[in-house]
Chain A
Amino acid sequence: MKSVSHDALVVLDPRARILCAAGCCMATALATQPVAVIPALCFPLIVGVIFRFPFRRLSWMAVRLNGIFILMALTTLPFVDGPAWRSVGPLTITSPGAHLMGVMILKGNALVLSCAVFLSTMESASLGHALSRLRVPTAFVQLLMSVIRYIDVLLEEHARIRLAMRARGFCPQFNVLTLRTHAVAVGALFLRSLDRAEQVADAMKCRGHHGTYAATRTLHWRTADSVWIGTALSVIMVMFWLGWSV
């Protein structure tokens, strides 16, 4: 999530982007046929091309995200019970296995692509504001914003603890002492986070916060947003139609 965004999709209202992503993801999750997932792959691709989404950066991210998942699908799913489809040496690939593998790989990529194109370049403040305006519970929005803000601080704290451990001769090995040391480090991180959370709550109270989410930015819904929502709905309808007609 970038906080300073230079993406062309910024012309769309953040609410429209969230709705497009959520709609595509939900329809993708419900799809059971590979052909029904293809529109969910094409739609964000087309949107990305129109709005000059940095696909080069995404390709490396997608490889890393999907690598293990695809490897697991390739090595396990094709060999589930069912009628044989192809033989690879001593192994037999079954029809339902190949079908399942195809559906899962396509669905995984469609989900990553939708979220990446519509959401990944959105300013974090805009995301929070848009979620709040879409009537997502305030507690959830604030939790999300806090995660975005404090993930770096948490990582820094973790790095400090690791450094302190190494400075005192800690060298991870496969033994009980290493496990116990890691448990102590996680415990320390948890306690520090708890302490920080209490102080952040105090800081929020000092600045007049009492449970509501007030956004700094204003949102403007334009005709283009309605057009893109309409297009997303059409894509979803096509997905359902393709799924039923097979």
Chain B
Amino acid sequence: MSSTVIELNKVTFGYHADRPVLQELDWVVPAGARVGIVGANATGKSTLLHICMGLRRVQSGDVVVYGQRRVTERDFREVRARMGLLFQDSDNQLFCPTVLDDVAFGPLHLGATPAAAQTAAREALKTVGLPGYEERITSRLSAGEKKCVALATNLAMQPDTLLLDEPTSFLDEPSRARLLDVLARLSVTLVMVSHDHEFMKALTTTRYCLRDGRLVTDG
């Protein structure tokens, strides 16, 4: 495994040509690191994670993930097989009618047989503390359950890196505590964007603040 998971060199990105969100941003995430990013609303925190996953294309600069420069959709397919992204709104991440179909979706599309995908899905659900939820209807889960199932959809693909976008949004205290417990037990490279400082302090060792399109070390 490359010693650096993510390396961004002079990355510039904006939704409008005259208003860049990220400006000549440099960032390195070593393998095994647990990194937190804070910042005001609309400063580009989620965008930064989406760029790492190849969901947004940078206007200039280099995106190097797992030691290789990534430009095209094909380049990022390998990245997505190894790197999981937890979306802010779980309803956007859970798009299948039942929990089992949703969690097994990733392994199936990575080439696993239906039986192997089901086994991986059941294991992932057990890891997040939701065994027996396989046949539950996704849209009828609580916010906390949805978040844990969304995490399970990533874990079923056995990622070595997890990007978490506001993992505690919409969660009550017990759900937040359960998520914290699950994430603390995972041995993966972790990058987290959050406004929840306590949650971030409990899980990360390095923290950055995204300000004026650049990352600066935060406390």
The residues of A with any CB-CB pair to B shorter than 8 Å are 3-4, 123-125, 128, 145-146, 148-150, 152-153, 196, 199-200, 202-210, 212, 214-218
Q: Which residue of A lies closest to B96 (CB)?
A: A149
Most buried by B among A200, A214, A217, A218: A214
Mask: chain B, 72-83; 1 = CB below 8 Å from A; 0 = not = 000001001100
**Smallest beta-carbon distance A193→chain B, Å:** 12
Instruction: Give the residue of B77, B114, B136, B140 whose beta carbon is less than 8 angstroms from that of A215.
Output: B114
How many interface residues does B have (CB within 8 Å)?
A: 40
Complexed CA–CA distance, A206 and B56 (Å): 12
Question: Which residues of A sit under 8 angstroms from B140, Cβ to Cβ?
Answer: 152
Question: Which residues of A sit under 8 angstroms from B77, Cβ to Cβ?
Answer: 208, 210
In the complex, whether B138 has a CB less than 8 A from a CB of chain A is: yes
The residues of B with any CB-CB pair to A shorter than 8 Å are 50, 53-55, 77, 80-81, 84-85, 87, 89, 91-98, 100-101, 104-106, 108-110, 114-115, 117-118, 121, 135-140, 153, 157
Assess the A204–B95 pair: CB atoms within 8 A: yes
Question: Which residues of A sit under 8 angstroms from B95, Cβ to Cβ?
Answer: 146, 149-150, 200, 203-204
Interface of A is mostly: helix
Complexed CA–CA distance, A25 and B47 (Å): 49
Complexed CA–CA distance, A150 and B139 (Å): 8
Question: Which residues of B sit under 8 angstroms from A208, Cβ to Cβ?
Answer: 77, 80-81, 106, 109-110, 157
Q: Given A3-B135, A218-B114, is A203 in contact with B92 using a C-beta cutoff of 8 Å?
A: yes
Q: Given A3-B137, A205-B80, A207-B153, is A216 in contact with B117 using a C-beta cutoff of 8 Å?
A: yes
Assess the B55–A202 pair: CB atoms within 8 A: yes
Q: Which residue of A lies closest to B135 (CB)?
A: A4
Complexed CA–CA distance, A98 and B118 (Å): 56
Instruction: Give the residue of A125, A150, A199, A207 whose beta carbon is less than 8 angstroms from that of B98.
Output: A125
Q: Which residue of A lies closest to B90 (CB)?
A: A203
**Smallest beta-carbon distance B76→chain A, Å:** 8
Instruction: Give the residue of A153, A214, A218 whose beta carbon is less than 8 angstroms from that of B105.
Output: A214
Assess the A153–B91 pair: CB atoms within 8 A: yes
Assess the B139–A202 pair: CB atoms within 8 A: no
Question: Which residues of A sit under 8 angstroms from B87, Cβ to Cβ?
Answer: 199, 203
Q: Which residue of B lies closest to A157 (CB)?
A: B91
Question: Which residues of A sit under 8 angstroms from B81, Cβ to Cβ?
Answer: 208
Q: Given A205-B55, A205-B80, A215-B114, is A152 in contact with B139 using a C-beta cutoff of 8 Å?
A: yes
Assess the B97–A216 pair: CB atoms within 8 A: no
Assess the B106–A216 pair: CB atoms within 8 A: no
Assess the A206–B55 pair: CB atoms within 8 A: yes
**Smallest beta-carbon distance A120→chain B, Å:** 15
**Smallest beta-carbon distance B106→chain A, Å:** 4
Assess the A216–B104 pair: CB atoms within 8 A: yes
19 A-B pairs within 8 Å (CB atoms) are namely A124-B98, A125-B97, A128-B97, A146-B95, A149-B96, A153-B91, A199-B87, A200-B95, A202-B92, A203-B87, A203-B95, A205-B55, A207-B80, A208-B81, A208-B110, A210-B109, A215-B108, A216-B108, A217-B114
Complexed CA–CA distance, A124 and B117 (Å): 19
Complexed CA–CA distance, A4 and B81 (Å): 30
Question: Which residues of B sit under 8 angstroms from A148, Cβ to Cβ?
Answer: 97
**Smallest beta-carbon distance A132→chain B, Å:** 12
Complexed CA–CA distance, A145 and B93 (Å): 14
Assess the A124–B105 pair: CB atoms within 8 A: no
**Smallest beta-carbon distance B70→chain A, Å:** 14
Q: Given A199-B89, A205-B80, is A145 in contact with B105 using a C-beta cutoff of 8 Å?
A: no
Assess the A196–B92 pair: CB atoms within 8 A: yes
Assess the B137–A4 pair: CB atoms within 8 A: yes
Q: Which residue of B lies closest to A197 (CB)?
A: B92
